[in-house]
Structure 1
């Protein structure tokens, strides 16, 4: 796949983006008509940020996140406008809010980015206004965000309804297969419709990388359950086997039909499934437990939108309250930099002083790798976007709805370049900020030089905060090791997937993932240069880790050498399902910011067992796939060893 095509595919649905942009423009227009000066910035920024949040690909629960984001936007505007006339109070409020914003990264990168946006909205508050103006501006910001929630999340979308109906049909097929197998163990199960479900919605390589595992699992789980049902065929004629199949069918039927009280019905059916699985004969026990985990995963995805239990927010945040935590250190860096930036803006009295704090917020992230490089490149993006926006402002002096249209246009550009990299994305966002801030009319003393200095000072503060409060060496090593392992796994996973699917531009794709792995290795070696393995635990971990890396590299090279002989035209679809599930298990989920990536040992072990079961579906002429099965055993063994060491 070409780079341009990949960038195009990374856009969300064009119709939804168009609706979000139009709603943002409508929010700006309404604020210009009924709100006090400065409220159009609040409404437009809130609509843009909440709209982007609503467009995030997620299986369920988006309305809660967007509603919370709308409330946070309104709260930031209210607090910022009320405190803004009092400089000392404003600086303290900005510092406290930025600390909360930094700690919000513990809940995920989406929450962290939204929190950073609310902080930017707070520090850009005007230095005038009454409490009534603050209430009106906050209400407009909240309503603008809720408008996006209604448009994107609550309003039914034909594609989303089509997906929901197709998923329900997939579960109905599994229900029918389970009951058919319970009645007749010799019945033939047709997995074709289940496989077609995932092929239709989530099977492209780009979608596999872009969508979270929970979203992909939403459409992959029916076929995985179908494969496990087939593995239970030998015990289907036993009382325990038949009861297991019928109980699983009852749970899945509840999920598919979703009647009132579905959650309670599913919980009762799961209890029956547990009892039946406990009675299965010994050899079928592991397969029955795998079916139980898959059915529980299907229920969790349907009812909660996540295949894992959601920890309490306070527990997540409390876990980061130690000086070794990258999240806490990011929060402290953000407090220091934003407080200094806001104080400098108030002391100097420069109209464009808010650009110091805004730049800090656009540049700083809770990262432990290539920190200075990434900060510098983001700073270049902010500076370029500010120069472009300010240059246009100086030339044509757009105000009012014209400035709003330009701001929305550059939000559209941000969506367009999101798949290219964070530098053009940051530049587009910075340009949109220029037009939103100047929407009520640029200050008479508008100076390009002042803004350049403000942006550069903000960048210096961001980089200096990393210099003065760096992450601990041990934490950096853990992060680098996890990133290197993930990069190596991505390379191997790409090769493995080519054994079941034709890979367009194979050489280009493999070269790209291998280059990322080489860069990750360089970062790991740099981070590990000053670390001494002077404890048995560290030596044991490094031994298992390097063994895994060596195995992945050699296995990837062996499998890549087999690719010219791979033929995928006549593969059994059940083998294709097993390969796809193994690749998903290898890649795992994107880790929360500040947390190292970890191997999903349970999913990997299940996928490996399924691969061994599917070996019987290979023909003799499919020799390359047989080589693959042999190599996967080594991959699974070393990765499970790494998982046991707690890497």
Structure 2
């Protein structure tokens, strides 16, 4: 096993996964008992996919997100069952749906995977003999099973979300007390350090591997910290008492657990805006910052999880569509992936129908489970996923042959496999592929056991599907310059991960620190090899492109040199607890350094303004006249070097296929 793949992630919460699996099993059993013939597979698949969508990290908009996914799954079932009687129409519908389902990779990998799963649901329900009554009934039941998952998640949210909400309430309550105390006496200290640390711990558990979190997710714990810092800045003003009282009222309303406190919050914000408008010249900047932070906090009030304003919904939909329009063009890697997926799925259906190389449904499902947007390890991952799919499907096929299991047994086993799949992702992509394949085969076997009861045909179909996935990448590769930009972004991402890991090891006492650093460096080494291969295949004919390449290599060497310096000067002991402000500032810098979660169109991105501000906060918080001052100065110096290098490469135009 490669060292870089041995660092394990945390196990998911057992209780929410168990509830999700229970909903899936009960919904499938009810569909078997009272639903139209062939509806249990659709219901079980839709409930399982909706359960995955319901258990995402960000608690904001979780119910609406699952409901939208449920509607999409219902439409997929409707398309699959209504076109299954006419083979040509079904092939076109399956290819077109899977191609469209590949476009959400623009937003995130999770969105792309959930959308691709809807294509699998379309394929798995197409074997049912359609009637208008059965078609509509199956689609409604599938969408309803997803809606039940949304209701269960809303009624019994994961413990993590409850802890986060309690930490937010405590933080806002502490800030309200600080604002009231500062309004009475500007020389009083801000006493919200402990609640802020507890809030950060609730949202960002400390791990050895740096994690990428979206700006929206980070705002849950960053905005309260910024409010506390701004209150301290504002308390030094001469005429800020009214502003502080208005801020205290706003923070009190934010901490109110009653959902009916929203009108009081809106009124407090109006009073705050009126007070800020009267601020003097010396206090206006701090007052405006405080107002902006409080408005942002009000938009993400912890007790408004189920409240969605129509204006906010329209804004979010427009932003998503605008991002899709901007990032999808004829050179986009996501559009190439959509073409590959649609053509490969349609070809799989044709092969299953016209030749004797295996069942077309399982060939197409294998393509969906194996094919991903192109990366530095495309072919290796395709082969690995194909092996995992073959292993998982073969186990299920052998069970079907030996046990002659009834549909209800398939339902129970599918529930077990879904639970295993929730935990398998921490063991690598091959284990995850095997678990997903086993779950998919068991769900398919509920109503269509004949498709999986021949181990030889299952293995042949899996091999053909994997070969189609590899062939799709060979026939429709990414544009050379697009590939170069992608490999460069992936290399910079892994280089930043390496730098962030070294900084965390420098500051914190981490178990197996040597192995963690070695794993990060090994990932960087492999990414560098892929980048060099892509740069050799691409022709950089313009002076601008060659200038970018020189700048890029210089930045990589600078970051690597800074990491080497930090590794050579690692302190013997972790920083003492009394230097929490410095440690917290460095942790915030690491988060800014890692940037936004990556997508297929943006393998690397960083907010240079936020990164520069975070580096400045680290510099200001260095403990002076302490035993650790020397180590802190070394860290600050290398952080400044890394920041300058990243700002330089971010400001340099990257190569694009349009050139």
TM-score by length of 2: 0.89
Whole-Å Cα distance in 2 between the matches of residues 313 and 634 of structure 1? 35
2:647 corresponds in structure 1 to 640
Please tell me whether residue 612 in structure 1 is matched to residue 613 in structure 2: no
Q: Secondary structure at the match of 1:599?
A: coil
Deviation track 1:575-605 (CA, whole Å, cap 9, x = no partner) reads: 1221111111111121233223111212212
Please tell me whether residue 360 in structure 1 is matched to residue 367 in structure 2: yes
Deviates more, 1:134-143 or 1:173-182: 173-182
Q: Secondary structure at the match of 1:368?
A: coil
- Equivalent residue runs for 1:150-229 within 5 Å: 150-156=151-157, 159-190=160-191, 191-205=193-207, 209=211, 212=214, 214-229=216-231
1:255 corresponds in structure 2 to 254
Q: Secondary structure at the match of 1:529?
A: helix
Q: Secondary structure at the match of 1:583?
A: helix
1:405 corresponds in structure 2 to 412
Whole-Å Cα distance in 1 between the matches of residues 625 and 46 of structure 2? 55
Please tell me whether residue 342 in structure 1 is matched to residue 349 in structure 2: yes
Unaligned runs of at least 5 residues, structure 1: none
Deviation of the 1:615 alpha carbon: 2.2
1:117 corresponds in structure 2 to 117
Whole-Å Cα distance in 1 between the matches of residues 265 and 357 of structure 2? 58
Deviation of the 1:159 alpha carbon: 5.0
2:542 corresponds in structure 1 to 535
Deviates more, 1:189-198 or 1:57-66: 189-198
1:477 to 472, 479, 484: 484
Deviation track 1:500-550 (CA, whole Å, cap 9, x = no partner) reads: 422221111111111111111111111111234433432343333223212
- Equivalent residue runs for 1:72-111 within 5 Å: 72-111=72-111
1:514 corresponds in structure 2 to 521
Tell me, yes or no, if the aligned pair for 1:611 and 1:629 is still in contact at 8 Å: yes
1:467 corresponds in structure 2 to 474
In structure 2, the CA distance between the partners of 1:634 and 1:444, relative to structure 1 (3 Å rule), is closer
Deviation of the 1:243 alpha carbon: 6.2
Deviation of the 1:252 alpha carbon: 3.9
Tell me, yes or no, if the aligned pair for 2:59 and 2:161 is still in contact at 8 Å: no
Deviation of the 1:113 alpha carbon: 1.1
Deviates more, 1:51-60 or 1:202-211: 202-211
1:430 corresponds in structure 2 to 437
Deviation track 1:269-297 (CA, whole Å, cap 9, x = no partner) reads: 6745874788337xx95x77765665455
Whole-Å Cα distance in 2 between the matches of residues 462 and 290 of structure 1? 51
Deviates more, 1:115-124 or 1:149-158: 149-158
Deviation of the 1:157 alpha carbon: 5.1
Whole-Å Cα distance in 1 between the matches of residues 512 and 552 of structure 2? 31
Say what the alpha-carbon RMSD is for the aligned residues.
3.1
Q: Secondary structure at the match of 2:426?
A: coil
2:581 corresponds in structure 1 to 574
Please tell me whether residue 547 in structure 1 is matched to residue 548 in structure 2: no
Q: Secondary structure at the match of 2:449?
A: coil
In structure 2, the CA distance between the partners of 1:531 and 1:251, relative to structure 1 (3 Å rule), is farther
1:146 corresponds in structure 2 to 147
Please tell me whether residue 630 in structure 1 is matched to residue 637 in structure 2: yes
Deviation of the 1:248 alpha carbon: 5.0
Tell me, yes or no, if the aligned pair for 2:179 and 2:245 is still in contact at 8 Å: yes
Deviation track 1:331-379 (CA, whole Å, cap 9, x = no partner) reads: 1111111111122223348883201111111111123322111111111
Please tell me whether residue 391 in structure 1 is matched to residue 398 in structure 2: yes
In structure 2, the CA distance between the partners of 1:321 and 1:263, relative to structure 1 (3 Å rule), is farther
In structure 2, the CA distance between the partners of 1:79 and 1:434, relative to structure 1 (3 Å rule), is same
Whole-Å Cα distance in 2 between the matches of residues 293 and 471 of structure 1? 42
Please tell me whether residue 505 in structure 1 is matched to residue 504 in structure 2: no
Deviation of the 1:616 alpha carbon: 5.1
Deviation of the 1:612 alpha carbon: 2.2
In structure 2, the CA distance between the partners of 1:141 and 1:350, relative to structure 1 (3 Å rule), is farther
Q: Secondary structure at the match of 1:470?
A: coil
Whole-Å Cα distance in 2 between the matches of residues 15 and 144 of structure 1? 19
Whole-Å Cα distance in 2 between the matches of residues 519 and 288 of structure 1? 49
Whole-Å Cα distance in 1 between the matches of residues 653 and 245 of structure 2? 38
Whole-Å Cα distance in 2 between the matches of residues 537 and 143 of structure 1? 55
Deviation track 1:140-180 (CA, whole Å, cap 9, x = no partner) reads: 21121111111123435555334212212202222332343
Whole-Å Cα distance in 1 between the matches of residues 209 and 199 of structure 2? 14
Whole-Å Cα distance in 2 between the matches of residues 78 and 433 of structure 1? 19
In structure 2, the CA distance between the partners of 1:279 and 1:49, relative to structure 1 (3 Å rule), is same
Tell me, yes or no, if the aligned pair for 1:12 and 1:55 is still in contact at 8 Å: no
Whole-Å Cα distance in 1 between the matches of residues 110 and 248 of structure 2? 36
2:281 corresponds in structure 1 to 279
Whole-Å Cα distance in 2 between the matches of residues 197 and 563 of structure 1? 29
Deviates more, 1:113-122 or 1:196-205: 196-205
Whole-Å Cα distance in 2 between the matches of residues 486 and 290 of structure 1? 31
Whole-Å Cα distance in 2 between the matches of residues 4 and 325 of structure 1? 29
2:387 corresponds in structure 1 to 380
Tell me, yes or no, if the aligned pair for 1:70 and 1:146 is still in contact at 8 Å: yes
Deviation track 1:422-465 (CA, whole Å, cap 9, x = no partner) reads: 21111111112222222236339943222222222212221111
Tell me, yes or no, if the aligned pair for 1:84 and 1:90 is still in contact at 8 Å: yes
Whole-Å Cα distance in 2 between the matches of residues 519 and 463 of structure 1? 21
Q: How many residues align?
A: 639
Q: Secondary structure at the match of 1:260?
A: helix
Unaligned runs of at least 5 residues, structure 2: 655-659
Q: Secondary structure at the match of 2:373?
A: coil
In structure 2, the CA distance between the partners of 1:493 and 1:405, relative to structure 1 (3 Å rule), is same
TM-score by length of 1: 0.90
Whole-Å Cα distance in 1 between the matches of residues 604 and 288 of structure 2? 26
Tell me, yes or no, if the aligned pair for 1:223 and 1:577 is still in contact at 8 Å: no
